[in-house]
Amino acid sequence: MFKKLDILDEKDKHLRMKSVDAEFPLSKDEKKLIQRIIDHLTYSQIEEYEKKYDLRPGMGLAFPQIGINKRIIVIVHEYEDGKFDNYVVINPKIISNSEEIIAAEAGEGCLSVNREVEGHVPRYARVTIEGYDEDGNLIQIRAREDLSIAFQHEIDHLDGILFYDRIDKNKPFYNEGEIRLI
């Protein structure tokens, strides 16, 4: 039975705290919660379920967004219509990045920010993430374009940073000559 997650709003102090490393082995509750997040994010990207359960579409969620300040992120990436890759990374770190900077042309959104925020968020076009899977095995993930943006966005949550903190107040929008918009 699907039960919608209670996602914290941007005003909640948990979202501004630096998260602590998760410890292994993960508890049964943590593993259950990871599965609930995967279900929530998957359903939110399928129109029929999005409407049925009144979900806002989202592809990523960090544990601080549900009030748990541990370094765990989940990304559900729709790589082809109706086909998803699930990424669960415990204690993630960006270990390398491209020099090229990109931004989502439409701007970024966040399941904890229930309002429209105008502006481009500069992000690396490509990143390599290192962390652990749910069983404590060391993993590396190379991400590019929208997936790279999602990883950077979720890792920011672990450090108490919201996407709009990265929008330049004096120059919120870029043109194609300044930054590649995707």
CB 62 within 8 A of CB 43: no
| DSSP-assigned letters across all residues of 59-75 | SEEEGGGGT--BSEEEE
In this prediction, residues 112-118 reach a mean pLDDT of 96
Task: Report d(CA 176, CA 182) in Å as an integer.
Answer: 10
Which three-class secondary structure state does DSSP give residue 174? coil
Catalytic residue from among 10, 78, 130, 154: 154
Task: Report d(CA 74, CA 15) in Å as an integer.
Answer: 16
Domain boundary assignment for the chain: 24-181
Residue 1 — very low, low, confident or very high, per pLDDT cuts 50/70/90? confident
154 is catalytic: yes
Residue 156 — very low, low, confident or very high, per pLDDT cuts 50/70/90? very high
**Residue 20: in which H helix or E strand, if any?**
none
CB 140 within 8 A of CB 130: yes
pLDDT of amino acid 162: 98
Average pLDDT value over all residues in the chain: 97
Residue 113 per-residue DSSP state: B
The token duo for 176 is 């194609």
pTM of the model as a whole? 0.97
pLDDT in tens, 75-102: 999 999 999 999 999 999 999 999 999 9
pLDDT in tens, 3-38: 899 999 999 999 999 999 999 999 999 999 999 999
Q: What percent of the chain has pLDDT over 90?
A: 97
CATH homologous superfamily for the domain 24-181: Peptide deformylase (3.90.45.10)
Task: Report d(CA 46, CA 84) in Å as an integer.
Answer: 11
Identity of the residue numbered 90: I
pLDDT of amino acid 122: 98
Residue 112 — very low, low, confident or very high, per pLDDT cuts 50/70/90? very high
pLDDT of amino acid 176: 86
